[in-house]
Amino acid sequence: MLASALTAAEAETLKLMFQGDAYEIKNITATAQKFEAANPGVTIELINTPHDGYNEKIGAAVSAKALPDVIELDGPFLANYVWSGLLQPIEGLVDQAIIDDMTPSNVAQGTYPIDKKLYAIGLTDSTVVLYGSRKQLTELGIRIPTSVDDAWTKDEFQAALEKLSTAPGVKWPLDLFRSYGTKSEWITYGYEPLLVSMGCDVIDRTTWKAEGMLDGATCVEAAKMMQDWVKKGWVVPQSAGGNQFYAAGRPAALAWGGHWFYAEAEAQMGDDLVVMPLPKFGEKGASPNATWIYAISKDAANPQLAGKFLSFMLQDSDYRAGYRDHAGFPGLKSFAAASPLYAQGGAMAVAFEQAGKTAVPRPPHPAYPTITLAFQQAMTNIFDGADAQQELTKAAKEIDADIEDNDGYPPFGEAN
C-alpha cells in the first residue's frame, strides 16, 4: 500500500541527497516527481552528489548544519554515521510491511550493532561472485561449482588459475577489477571476504583491535597469495580497463566481480556466461554484502514525511523495475520473488544463495572510514610489490591509533 497523500498543512520541501549511475538518477527523479504529484504542495529537492566525493559532501553538510532530511549512505559507513549522531531509527517512520519484507542481510546492513535498531533501508543489497565461460571451463576439464556448498576450495581455485594461465587465448586468468582504482571501496568490499574465508579479518570484531589480526600470519598469507597472482601476471592490470572478461577474444578467463557486472557480461556472452560462488579458501566460505541505502537524518524537519517518501519509493513498481532491469540484487523478499534472475534455477541464483549462507558485512564500527582506507592503501602497495607483512602491520597500527585517539569510540570500547 502506497503512502497516503498529505494534507495541505503538511505541504513542504523534503531534501534528499543521493548518488548513483545514470539509470539510478533517472529512476529516483521520476519517483520523486510521482510522489509530488500524489502529494500536492510537497516538493522533493534532489541533491545528486558524485560517488567518489560523497562522504566528503556529507561531512561538509554536517559542518554547515545543513544535512538533508533523507540521505543515501554506503552500508558499512552506517555505524560511523549513527555514532556521530547523524541518523534516527526508521521504525515507526517507514511502513512496517516494508521493514518486515527486508532480507536478513539487508537488515544487517541497516542495523547499528550497539542498540540493535534499524537506521537505514533499501530496495537492494549486493554480493560478489565468480564469472566464467561455461564452454572454456568445460573444454579444459575444470569443474563448474553449482552452489555455495559446492564452491571451489583454495587448491581447486589455484589449480584453475594455473590451468587457465596456459590456455589458448588467455592473457590473464583472473580479473580482480583493479580498474576500479587504488583508492576504492571495492578493495575492502571485494577482497575482505577472502581474508574472512581464510580465517582472519581486517580487524578483530570482538576486541576491535587490528594488530594481531590484520597483520597476523593468516592475513599475511592471504595477501601474499593475491600478490603472487599479480607477480605471475595472472591478474588484469589496472591499466587494461574493466571489460577484459568479455572483450573480443576474452583475454581474461575469470572475473571476481560484483552482481552488477552480470548485466554487461551477459549482454556480450549470452548463455556462455556462468556464475559461480566465491571460492572457499578455508573451512568456510565468505562473501560481501551491503550497498547504498537510505536513512533519515536526525535533524530532518519532518521525519514522518521522510518516512512516507521512502515507503512510497520502495514500493513503487517503476522504481523497482529500473533496478530489476539492471540486475539489482534483492534486498526485499518481494523484490526477490519478482526477479527471476535470482530465483532458484535463475542465472544468478547462486549469488542470492550467498546472501543467506556466506554474507559477511564489513566491520560495523565507527572507525570504518579509517579501517577501509588503511586496508585499501596496504593492498594497493602489496599488489605493487611491497612487503605484505610490513604493509599490513602499518595498516593495523593506523587503525588502532585512530580507535585509541577516539577513546575506543564508546560505547564500543566500553563493551569490551
Residue 416 reports pLDDT greater than 90 = no
Contact 351, 129 (CB under 8 A): yes
Question: What is the per-residue pLDDT for 53?
Answer: 86
- Residues 276, 129 contacting (CB under 8 angstroms): yes
Q: What is the pLDDT of residue 21?
A: 92
Tell me the per-residue pLDDT of 226-252, one tens digit each, with 9 for 90 and over. 999 999 999 999 999 989 999 999 999
Nearest to 125 by CA among 351, 315, 299: 351
Average pLDDT for residues 120-144, to the nearest whole number? 98
C-alpha span between 217 and 237 (Å, rounded): 27
What is the per-residue pLDDT across 200-230, written as a single tens digit (0 to 9) for each?
A: 999 999 999 999 999 999 999 999 999 999 9
Over 60: is that where the pLDDT of 12 sits?
A: yes
| Cell of residue 158, nine digits | 589455484
C-alpha to C-alpha distance for 263 and 367, rounded to whole angstroms: 34
Asked if residue 228 lies in contact with residue 148, where contact means CB atoms within 8 angstroms, the answer is: no
Mean pLDDT of the chain: 95
pLDDT, average across residues 44-68:
92
* Residue 75 pLDDT exceeds 60: yes
Mean of pLDDT values over 32-54: 94
User: How many CB atoms neighbour CB 215 within 10 A?
Assistant: 22
Higher-scoring residue by pLDDT: 344, 36 = 36
Model pLDDT for residues 277-323, shown as the tens digit of each residue: 999 999 999 999 999 999 999 999 999 999 999 999 999 999 999 99
Q: Regarding beta strands 13-18 and 70-74, do their DSSP bridges make them parallel or antiparallel, or are they unpaired?
A: parallel
Task: Provide the pLDDT for residue 255.
Answer: 98
Model-level pTM?
A: 0.93
pLDDT at 331: 97
Instruction: Round to whole Å and give the CA distance between 177 and 60.
Output: 30
Instruction: Specify the pLDDT at position 1.
Output: 33
**Residue 104 contacts by C-beta under 8 Å, 6 or more apart in sequence?**
355, 356
